Amino acid sequence: HTHIDHVLGLCFFEPLLTAKARTFILGPGATRGALTLSLRHLTNSHLFPVSLDELKGKKEIFSLSGGEVIRFGSPGRRPKIEGARADDVVEAGELTVMTCKSAAHPLNGVMLYRVHYKNKSFVYATDIEEQEGGYPEVIEFARGADLLIHDAQYLQEEYSSRAKPRKGWGHSTIDMAVDVAQKAGVKRLALFHHEPTHDDKAMKSIQNQAKGLFRATVVAHEGMVINLL
């Protein structure tokens, strides 16, 4: 989704400030032009000194509603966006992104992405709050992926706290993420969207806890590189 914490950095994306650059921006939008409208709100004069139209780089913006198959050819060429079909085939050497709109976030749901390249795939699932047993569409979308990157902000005791319950806040627990990884049969799990109050000691404990449930788990951190090829 286009909450400001996800898109604020776009204003400082260097190619958008470079006249010779060409950038394709794809993201959630229920109708044609919806993503463009969201980005115009982000760059209105009360929030940012340069409007979307004043950013010098060439840009094309595509709104996604879920179920698309996006095929990327050679660099600089416009991506080919197709509606999802049951018989979609991913070519081994082609960079392909599939989308899935899930109800697993309050209000407007959330978009998941599955990236395929050279017979490998990973799923990116941020700002997702699983229901008990997981959302079927999320589990199926992640089925057999080489890597699942899944929101895991809370410990179970934080999520269920009587004093400050986090249920309905739009984020998952470590146990929820592990449950989806196991049911989807993914090879590796990366936990991210960490709770800001968790220090390094807490994150180490979380990784150990998660590994006890699903051995091929890592706690993602800035600068981490995971090579799937």
Tell me the pLDDT tens digit for each residue of 2-43: 888 888 899 899 999 999 999 999 999 878 889 999 999 989
Both 72 and 48 in one domain: the answer is no
Quick one: 186 exposed, middle or buried, by C-beta within 10 A (0-12, 13-18, 19+)? buried
Q: Are residues 58 and 73 in the same domain?
A: no
Buried b (16+ CB within 10 A) or exposed e, 131-161: eeebbeebbebbeebbbbbbbbbbbeeebee
Pick the last residue of a domain from 45, 65, 85.
65
Structural domain count, the chain? 2
Strands 58-64 and 22-28: parallel
Residues 134, 192 within the same domain: yes
Mean pLDDT of the chain: 92
Residues 50 and 70 in one domain: no
Q: Are 192 and 151 in contact, with CB atoms under 8 Å apart?
A: yes
Same domain, 128 and 228: yes
Instruction: Give pLDDT tens digits for 200-229.
Output: 999 999 999 999 999 999 999 999 999 999
Residue that finishes a domain, picked among 46, 65, 84: 65
What pLDDT digit, counting tens, does each position of 166-199 carry?
999 999 999 999 999 999 999 999 999 999 999 9
Quick one: 130 and 192 in the same domain? Answer: yes
Q: In which domain, by residue range, is 59 found?
A: 1-65
Q: In Å, what is the CA distance from 201 to each residue of 68, 178, 198, 207, 208? A: 40, 20, 8, 10, 11
- Regarding whether 55 and 89 lie in a shared domain, the answer is no
Q: How many residues does the chain have?
A: 229
- The CATH number linked to 173 is 3.60.15.10
**Domain shared by 123 and 175, yes or no:** yes
pTM comes to 0.91
CA–CA dist 169, 21 (Å, integer): 38
